[in-house]
Amino acid sequence: MSDFTSFLRSGVFLLLAVQTQFSPALGQPIDQPITVGSNPLRFTLQTASSATVLAVTDDGSLVTIREGAAPGYRNQTSEWMTRQISAGRNRLTAPVMGGFPMLSAQLETRFHDGTRGIRLRYRSHEVLNASEVPELRISLEEEQGSLGVTLHFRVYPEWDLVERWARIENRSERTVVIEKAASSSLVLPRDEYDLVHLTGRWGQEFNVERTALTGGSKVLEVRGMRFHHLSPWYLVRPSGDDDEEAGRVWFGALAWSGNWKLEFEKTPEGELQIVGGINSWDTEWTLGAGQSFETPVLVTGFCEQGPGGASRRMHHFIRRHILPIKARGEIRPVLYNSWYATTFGVSEEQQVALARTAKQIGVELFVMDDGWFKGRKDDHAGLGDWTPDEEKFPRGLNPMISAINEMEMDFGLWVEPEMVNPDSDLYRAHPDWALQTPGLKPLESRNQLVLNFARDEVRDYTATWLNKLLSENSIKFVKWDFNRDLAEVDWTGASPETARELRIRYVKNLYSVYQGLRKDFPSLLLEGCAGGGGRVDLGTLSYVDQVWTSDNTNPSDRIFIQYGFSQAYPANTMVSWTTDDDWRNARPSLEYRFRVAMAGVLGIGNDLRDWGEEEIEIAKREVARYKEIRHLVQWGDLYRLVSPIESDRSALIYVAEDRSDAVVFMYNLQDPLLGTRSATRESTQVILRGLDPDADYRFSLDSEGVYSGATLMTNGLDWLPRGDYQARMVRLERVAE
Ligand code: DGJ
> Which tens digit of pLDDT belongs to each residue from 73-82?
555 667 777 7
Number of the ligand 1 atom closest to the C-alpha atom of 551: 3
Q: Please tell me the predicted confidence (pLDDT) of residue 101.
A: 84
Q: Please tell me the predicted confidence (pLDDT) of residue 25.
A: 40
Query: Per-residue confidence at 71, pLDDT binned at 50, 70, 90?
Result: low
Q: What angle do CA 659, 30, 52 make, to 5 degrees?
A: 110
Residue 658 bears catalytic tag: no
What mean pLDDT comes out for the span 566-582?
97
Residue 481 bears catalytic tag: yes
418 in ligand 1 pocket by Cβ < 6 Å? Answer: no
Closest CA to 572 of 550, 596, 599: 599
Q: Please tell me the predicted confidence (pLDDT) of residue 74.
A: 56
pTM value? 0.94
Q: Which of 160, 370, 385, 481 is catalytic?
A: 481
What mean pLDDT comes out for the span 235-253?
98
Q: Please tell me the predicted confidence (pLDDT) of residue 134.
A: 95
Mutate to test the pocket of ligand 1, among 548, 581, 606 (most ligand atoms within 8 A of CB): 548
Residue 480 CA to ligand 1 centre (angstroms): 9
Q: Is the pLDDT confidence value at 660 over 70?
A: yes
382 in ligand 1 pocket by Cβ < 6 Å? Answer: no
Number of the ligand 1 atom closest to the C-alpha atom of 529: 3
Number of the ligand 1 atom closest to the C-alpha atom of 379: 11
Q: Is the pLDDT confidence value at 551 over 80?
A: yes
Query: Per-residue confidence at 29, pLDDT binned at 50, 70, 90?
Result: low
Q: Please tell me the predicted confidence (pLDDT) of residue 83.
A: 76
Contact partners, residue 671, CB within 8 Å, separation at least 6:
648, 680, 721, 722, 723, 724, 726
Residue 151 CA to ligand 1 centre (angstroms): 40
Higher pLDDT, 735 or 131: 735
- Are 400 and 348 in contact, with CB atoms under 8 Å apart? yes
Q: Please tell me the predicted confidence (pLDDT) of residue 9.
A: 32
Q: Please tell me the predicted confidence (pLDDT) of residue 73.
A: 59
Q: Is the pLDDT confidence value at 85 over 90?
A: no
Contact partners, residue 471, CB within 8 Å, separation at least 6:
none
Rounded Cα distance between 246 and 374, Å, is 55
Residue 115 CA to ligand 1 centre (angstroms): 48
What mean pLDDT comes out for the span 107-123?
96
Mutate to test the pocket of ligand 1, among 204, 343, 373, 481 (most ligand atoms within 8 A of CB): 481
548 in ligand 1 pocket by Cβ < 6 Å? Answer: yes
What mean pLDDT comes out for the span 643-648?
90
Q: Is the pLDDT confidence value at 679 over 50?
A: yes
Q: Is the pLDDT confidence value at 24 over 90?
A: no
Mutate to test the pocket of ligand 1, among 228, 414, 576 (most ligand atoms within 8 A of CB): 414
Mutate to test the pocket of ligand 1, among 551, 558, 606 (most ligand atoms within 8 A of CB): 551
Give the number of other Cβ atoms within 10 Å of residue 351's Cβ: 26
pLDDT tens-digit series, residues 420-432: 999 999 999 999 9
Helix/strand/coil for 657: coil
Q: What angle do CA 429, 431, 432 make, to 5 degrees?
A: 120
What mean pLDDT comes out for the span 542-568?
97
Number of the ligand 1 atom closest to the C-alpha atom of 339: 6
The mean pLDDT value of the chain amounts to 93
Query: Per-residue confidence at 96, pLDDT binned at 50, 70, 90?
Result: very high
pLDDT tens-digit series, residues 349-377: 999 999 999 999 999 999 999 999 999 99
Q: Please tell me the predicted confidence (pLDDT) of residue 6.
A: 36
What mean pLDDT comes out for the span 715-732?
94
What mean pLDDT comes out for the span 337-354?
98
Percent of the chain with pLDDT over 70: 94
Q: Please tell me the predicted confidence (pLDDT) of residue 28.
A: 53
Q: Is the pLDDT confidence value at 8 over 50?
A: no
What mean pLDDT comes out for the span 709-726?
94
Residue 584 CA to ligand 1 centre (angstroms): 20
Helix/strand/coil for 47: coil
Higher pLDDT, 143 or 85: 143
> 11-15, 85-89, 131-135, 229-233: lowest mean pLDDT where?
11-15
Residue 370 CA to ligand 1 centre (angstroms): 7
Where do the DSSP E strands lie in 157-242?
A: 161-170, 176-188, 193-199, 207-213, 217-222, 233-238
In this structure, the strands spanning 410-415 and 365-368 are parallel
What mean pLDDT comes out for the span 570-594?
95
What mean pLDDT comes out for the span 262-266?
97
Q: Which of 370, 551, 637, 648 is catalytic?
A: 551
Residue 531 CA to ligand 1 centre (angstroms): 5
What mean pLDDT comes out for the span 549-570?
97
pLDDT tens-digit series, residues 373-412: 999 999 999 999 999 999 999 999 999 999 999 999 999 9
User: Treating both helix axes as pointing N-terminal to C-terminal, what angle do 590-597 and 555-568 enclose, rounded to 10 degrees?
Assistant: 10
* Nearest Cα residue to atom 1 of ligand 1: 531
* Nearest Cα residue to atom 2 of ligand 1: 531
* Nearest Cα residue to atom 10 of ligand 1: 370
529 in ligand 1 pocket by Cβ < 6 Å? Answer: yes
CA atoms within 13 A on the CB side of 174: 8
pLDDT tens-digit series, residues 288-298: 999 999 999 99
Helix/strand/coil for 401: helix
Rounded Cα distance between 523 and 326, Å, is 7
What mean pLDDT comes out for the span 23-38?
69
Q: Please tell me the predicted confidence (pLDDT) of residue 48.
A: 92
Closest CA to 564 of 585, 550, 581, 578: 550
pLDDT tens-digit series, residues 39-56: 889 999 999 999 999 999
Number of the ligand 1 atom closest to the C-alpha atom of 548: 3
